[in-house]
Structure 1
Amino acid sequence: MDGASVVRLLLLAAIWGASFLFMRIAAPELGAALVAEIRVLLAAMFLWAASVFFKRSLRVGENWRHYLIVGFFNSALPFILFSYAALQLSASILSILNATAPLWGCVIAAALDRQRIPVKTFSGLVLGVIGVGVLLGFDTAVVSEAGWLPCLAAIGAAFCYGIASNYTRRAKADDAFSNAHGTMWSSTLILLPMVILFSSTEQVTVITEGAVLMSVTALGVICTGIAYLLYFRLIKDVGAASALTVTFLIPVFGVLWGGLFLNENMGWHTFCGGVIVVIGTMLVTGFSPKNLFKNRSAHV
């Protein structure tokens, strides 16, 4: 991985880590449904502009079912679950729970393929569970009864990513850019009824407030639209396996941004639980830091 790719990897991790900061700011003011809807709508509009610039057209007639399935599991449902969780959980915890997605992906893949989980992978899964237990069991927001439902929502969002990764691995899919573009529009349609049912006029009027407007705009344009473009560029330059290492870096920035801008309490359990989750994820995915600097061998 050359210097430019390392910079892109760190920038992408910083951007995706910041998404939990922006959700934490916007969700209490707008509600989960409206935050998720604005996020995918702005991302869809940004990617549409990018598609015009790059002359990339969507084959909606051929792929609309695929866009709906991926949009539901990879954007609409996890975005609204994370936004709901952000009503009570810190950005730090959200970013670490997000890192469990590869763990769920492994479990789902093993169940679908009816294969035994190797000892190393199983050890990683156990570590991941222990890490989540340390992270949440010693957090005062989760110890209270009201805190467990948001916690389950965040874990459910990561589980959705595991479903989406397994589906796209098996599906006859469109190219990566068109997948992102098409699924943002499908997610916008999927979330619209939720906005109508659960959002109020008062919440809509809050959108124009400075911090809220900045947060939802950053979520849609930067953390989703621009982030996808960065991610696809990384896949092209270094391969899918190396690009996925961003998963291990996101919690670092999620904890950093939460501490710097929201003064979140980062106790020993935050660091210990986060490190255990990341190590467990590395074992599950078979990642080694040495792989970052090998010549690219897999391309999408």
Structure 2
Amino acid sequence: MNNTAEATLARGRDWRTPLELGVLGAIWGCSFLFMRIAAQPFGPFALVEVRLLLGALVLAPFLWKSRALFPPRRWLWLAPIGLVNSAIPFLLFAWGAERAPAAIGAICNAMTVLFAALVAFLFFGEKIGMRRAVALLIGFVGVVVLATGKSAGLSIGPAVFAGALASLLYGVGINLVKRHMTGLPPAASGAATLGCGAILLAPLAITHWPQQPIPPMAWASAIALGMFCTGFAFLLYYRLIYRVGPAIASTVTYLIPVFGALFAWLFLHEPITARMLAAGALILGSVAFSQKR
């Protein structure tokens, strides 16, 4: 084993790594709980606008510090990446949170890793391999199993479709970031893309701002969603990538559905059905199978 591999392995075994992965998984799991609470009073457009703005504000100092690396021509890519990688997926998850338990979006989110590989294969010429092809098939079966379920007698299929589409867009966004934002400070890039998303979404948020007073609990959830689950979580994720590499950092994918379903059960008393467990096992199992180790 060479020195680089040994160093990477040592970093992965650092006690901070599982702790930070657990904290990040819990934070992103919380995001689906907060969306479930706030989506109905705010509506998707207003809620996502608050989330984008607050997340961008948390990361804004990093963008200001690195502003020389962001000339006007670079913003031609930052704006569409902000839409594909933040604004539209956030909208889809918020729309789904109005219509289905929080665990649904959290489970669908796990497909992001597989969709990223699929997009890289279809549009950027990367090899996908038999392992990932089989994993994609298993993951899609899991989505179908989840989509055919019901909650309180109502179909959750539309919410599952929205969550799967959001994960597909995350997969597109990951590939765009890798090809057009390489070498840029991640936290500064996050501020830029979130800010672009907020600016582009602002007209819809203004025209769809709720007419009724928004309850304090919904406001608290929206603020936590923006500052804690978006801004602070991005910082923690980028720190993990810098310290242990993207492969280990991406394993947080396995934790988000677990925490998302657990928090919804604990705080919202939403049931965890056998179908959710089966679909979650298929989707998470497919993600695990797609990894070589």
TM-score by length of 1: 0.87
Q: Is the 8 A contact 1:89 1:141 kept in 2?
A: no
**Alignment partner, residue 36 of structure 1:** 48
User: Structure 1 stretch 135-144 or stretch 233-242: which is displaced more?
Assistant: 135-144
* Contact 2:101 2:151 (C-alpha < 8 Å) held by counterparts: no
CA distance in 2, matches of 1:225, 1:201: 28
Q: Secondary structure at the match of 2:67?
A: coil
Q: Is the 8 A contact 1:142 1:148 kept in 2?
A: no
Structure 1 residues 238 and 198 mapped into 2: Cα distance closer, same or farther (>3 Å)?
A: same
Please tell me whether residue 92 in structure 1 is matched to residue 98 in structure 2. no
Aligned counterpart for 2:200 among listed residues 190, 193, 209? 190
Q: Which moved more, 1:128-137 or 1:250-259?
A: 128-137
**Cα offsets for 1:90-128 (capped at 9, x unmatched):** 111110001111121121111114466422111101110
Give a deviation string over 1:139-196, Cα, whole Å, max 9, x none: 336863xx43332221111111011011122224422111101111101111112112
Is 1:19 the counterpart of 2:28? The answer is no
Instruction: Please tell me the residue identity of whatever aligns with 2:51.
Output: R
| Counterpart for residue 65 of structure 1 | 76
C-alpha distance in structure 1 between counterparts of 2:67 and 2:94, whole Å: 31
The aligned runs of 1:1-300 (5 Å cut-off) are 1=12, 2-49=14-61, 55-57=65-67, 59-114=70-125, 117-140=128-151, 144=155, 147-173=156-182, 174-202=184-212, 205-206=213-214, 209-284=215-290, 286-288=291-293
Instruction: Kindly provide the amino acid, as one letter, of the partner of residue 164 in structure 2.
Output: I
Identity %: 33
The answer to whether the 8 A contact 1:88-1:141 is kept is no
Tell me the distance in 2 between the aligned counterparts of 1:89 and 1:60. Answer: 42
Aligned amino acid, residue 282 of structure 2: I
Q: How many residues matched? A: 279
* Counterpart in the other structure of 1:296: none
Maintained 8 Å contact 1:27/1:87: yes
Cα distance, 1:171–1:137 mapped onto 2, change above 3 Å = same
Change (3 A) 1:135 1:148: closer
Change in CA separation of 1:266 and 1:198 when aligned onto 2, cut-off 3 Å: same
Of residues 63-72 and 212-221 in structure 1, the stretch that sits farther from structure 2 once superposed is: 63-72
Indicate the larger mover: 149-158 or 270-279: 149-158
CA deviations over 1:72-99 (Å, ceiling 9, x no partner): 1111100111111110111111100011
CA shift for structure 1 position 42 = 0.7
What are the superposed Cα offsets for residues 252-276 of structure 1, whole Å, 9 maximum, x if unpaired?
A: 1011111101111101111121011
Counterpart of 1:199 in structure 2: which amino acid?
W
Whole-Å separation in 1 of the counterparts to 2:79 and 2:177: 12
The gaps in structure 2 that reach 5 residues or longer are 1-11
User: 2:194 & 2:128 partners in 1: Cα distance?
Assistant: 34
Q: Matched residues in 1 for 2:45 and 2:141: separation?
A: 31
- TM-score for the superposition, normalised by structure 2: 0.89
After TM superposition, give the deviation of residue 287 of structure 1 in Å: 4.9
- Mean CA deviation greater in 168-177 or 2-11: 168-177
What CA distance in whole angstroms lies between the structure 1 residues aligned with 2:125 and 2:239? 34
Farther off after superposition, 12-21 or 126-135:
126-135
1:141 and 1:112 map into 2 onto residues whose CA distance is 40
CA distance in 1, matches of 2:171, 2:241: 19
In the aligned structure 2, how far is the partner of 1:175 from the partner of 1:50?
Answer: 8
- CA drift at 1:129: 1.1
Question: Equivalents in 2 of 1:19, 1:241: separation in Å?
Answer: 23
Q: Is the 8 A contact 2:264 2:270 kept in 1?
A: yes
Question: Are 1:127 and 1:276, in contact at CA under 8 Å, matched by a contact in 2?
Answer: yes
